[in-house]
Amino acid sequence: EQPIFSSRAHVFQIDPNTKKNWVPTSKHAVTVSYFFDSTRNVYRIISLEGSKAIINSTITPNMTFTKTSQKFGQWADSRANTVYGLGFSSESHLSKFAEKFAEFKEAARLAKERSQEKTELTSTPSQESAPGDLQSPLTSESINGTDEDRVTANTPKHSKARAEPSQNALPFSHSSSSINKHWEAELAALKGNNAKLTAALLESTANVKQWKQQLGAYQEEAERLHKRVTELECVSGQTTAIKSQKTELNRTIEELELALKAKEEELERLKAEVESANEFRFQKDTLTQKLKVSNTLERLYESRGASEIAAMSKNYRSVLKF
């Protein structure tokens, strides 16, 4: 058997005591797969956790998969006397699983109808069994619920037994021996399929270990890259702040240069005014001295004669030259 559809989900079973509470049967999300057994023409839902089968349910036409929430669905298995529940990671995964359930349920119904038609065509009136059920041997298939299409809970009391396609009816002992051989062959086929499934499970376990190691390495690399990105973002933020500060400083320097230029121009103007004031002060001192000499001469002229004035004028000639 090969899986024809698989999904990941958390597996639950209804509490057999309360029939209300859910009991988890898997520690984490596991693979839940649909299988098709071509030898028995049945569809099964199987899920393993390690080497333990936590789901082994044969799909029958009277089963119904019910969505109880956006991510949870359930179905009842009367042969296993339990109710299975699956919790998915998303609503789309739940919807896809439900669609496959309905599809394989319809296929199981058609297969059962074809099997019944074939049985009716190959049966004869002389082969009707006595009142009572013709029970098949107790095998691992019937315990796990894998012969739902051959022995059902609603089998009529006067069912028609399968016979060889011949005109004469075979003895009951010969028919029972054929049934036993048939079930032994199916049991051998089931063991072979289980061996293949175990080998595939071991290979998958080894692959899971390798994938976990790769995942750990990828997570470490992702963490390192995340730290590097954070550092670069910090450096980028600092660079932006530095650029902003540099722009502000350049603007301040320009303003200071303009103010300095204005102060230099003001200083030059003040220097020119100081030079002009010094020149005015020198002229003032000169005029003051000339005024004093003029006043002195005027007083001498009034008090003395012209001869003395001429003599004194000679003495002050050097002063009056300018």
Beta-carbon-side half-sphere exposure of residue 140 (alpha carbons within 13 Å): 10
Q: Give the global pTM.
A: 0.39
d(CA 13, CA 75): 10
Tokens of 110: 């058609």
d(CA 29, CA 12): 11
pLDDT at residue 281 in the model? 83
> Which tens digit of pLDDT belongs to each residue from 238-255?
777 788 888 888 888 988
Helix runs in the chain, H state only: 91-122, 140-144, 172-303, 306-315, 317-320
Per-residue pLDDT of the chain (322 residues; tens, 9 = 90+): 678 999 999 999 998 888 888 999 988 899 999 998 888 888 999 998 888 889 999 999 889 999 999 999 999 998 888 999 999 999 999 999 999 999 999 988 888 888 777 776 766 444 444 443 333 333 333 333 444 443 333 433 333 333 333 333 334 344 456 666 767 777 877 887 787 888 788 877 777 877 888 888 888 888 888 888 888 878 877 777 788 888 888 888 988 989 888 888 888 888 888 888 888 888 888 888 888 887 877 777 767 666 666 666 666 665 555 5
